[in-house]
Amino acid sequence: MRTWQVLLALAAAALLAGLPAGCSDSTDPAGDGRLVVNLIDAPAAYDSVIVAVERVEVHRDGEDSNSGWLVVHDTPASFDLLQLVDGASAVLADHALAPGRYTQLRLILGDGSYVVEAGERHDLRVPSGLQTGIKLNHPFDIEPQQIYEITLDFDAARSIHVTGNGQHVLRPTIRCVWNAIAGAVTGTVLPAAAKSTVWTVAGGDTVSAFADSLTGDFRLSMLPAGSYDLRVEPLETAWLDTMLAGVVVLAQQTTDVDTVQLRAQSLR
């Protein structure tokens, strides 16, 4: 077979395989990994907490501190944080990234963030949020053709501060958790009318949930695998605080502690 015939046969084989002649895996964009960023919130005593996000960026390890940022989402969107509780979440970013190590995430907030309290709207001032953004230290590695999924747990109750002149300021307290190592805890606190808060500490951060005032059901999400002491604190003072010690959480699993029956103050 002549040389030109050999080349023609190879080109035809490549086309039949669905690849252009001369291409190789090294230039295939499928070699990238993927970053998914989710958003959840801890409960807070507001009607709504609206946060306007302009874009989401990540910083590649070893790059310049100013120019080394890569945009992974640039479609402005607003989120009501108080809708992102009890297992609900929103996707902040879903973007292909070149394999390698990344050290930080950054949220650039836009105009239009506000809080509603007792039916009254208050604009949220975000120091530096519109310029330098909110930087979150969370080193992670992107592997070829693998998904790295992270959840940002936004604690609205600890993030909103009211100044002496009544101005509402947003200084975000955000917990970053890699989904692959996290699990959840569910259960029911009775009586539901006690209006209990269930909380624990994970890596120095407080993770909390309100037990539903009708059913008593609660869910603590995105807890890194480990052992936790759960504290149950009823708002109604007729009932005593209680604690569940040594609740074990496994990665990507839900631990159900079943029913937590509160004791009345009169039975103390």
Q: What is the CATH number of the domain that holds 264?
A: 2.60.40.4130
| pTM for this model (two decimals) | 0.83
pLDDT of residue 130: 57
pLDDT of residue 22: 31
Compute φ and ψ for 26, nearest 5 degrees: -65, -20
The answer to the question of residue 148 being in a domain is: yes
The answer to the question of residue 18 being in a domain is: no
Domain interval for residue 190: 182-268
Structure tokens at 193: 């009318």
pLDDT of residue 32: 94
Reduced to 3 states (helix: H, G, I; strand: E, B; else coil), residue 262 is coil
**Integer-rounded Cα radius of gyration of the chain:** 24
pLDDT of residue 29: 58
- Residue 191: is the preceding peptide bond cis (ω within 30°)? yes
* Nearest one of 226, 202, 232, 196 to 214, comparing CA atoms: 196
* Residue ranges, the chain, pLDDT below 70: 1-30, 128-131, 267-268
pLDDT of residue 128: 66
Distance (Å, whole) CA 114 – CA 92: 18
Number of domains composing the chain: 2
Q: What secondary structure letter does DSSP report for 239?
A: B
Contact 122/115 with Cβ under 8 angstroms?
yes
Choose the final residue of a domain: 117, 145, 172.
172
For residues 129 and 256, membership in a common domain is answered with no
* Nearest one of 224, 207, 218 to 87, comparing CA atoms: 218
CB under 8 Å to 232, separation ≥6 — which residues? 189, 196, 197, 198, 211, 241, 242, 243, 244, 260, 262
* Nearest one of 198, 208, 156, 202 to 176, comparing CA atoms: 202
Distance (Å, whole) CA 29 – CA 109: 30
pLDDT of residue 54: 93
Reduced to 3 states (helix: H, G, I; strand: E, B; else coil), residue 245 is strand
The answer to the question of residue 7 being in a domain is: no
CB under 8 Å to 121, separation ≥6 — which residues? 114, 115
For residues 230 and 157, membership in a common domain is answered with no
The answer to the question of residue 20 being in a domain is: no
pLDDT of residue 204: 85
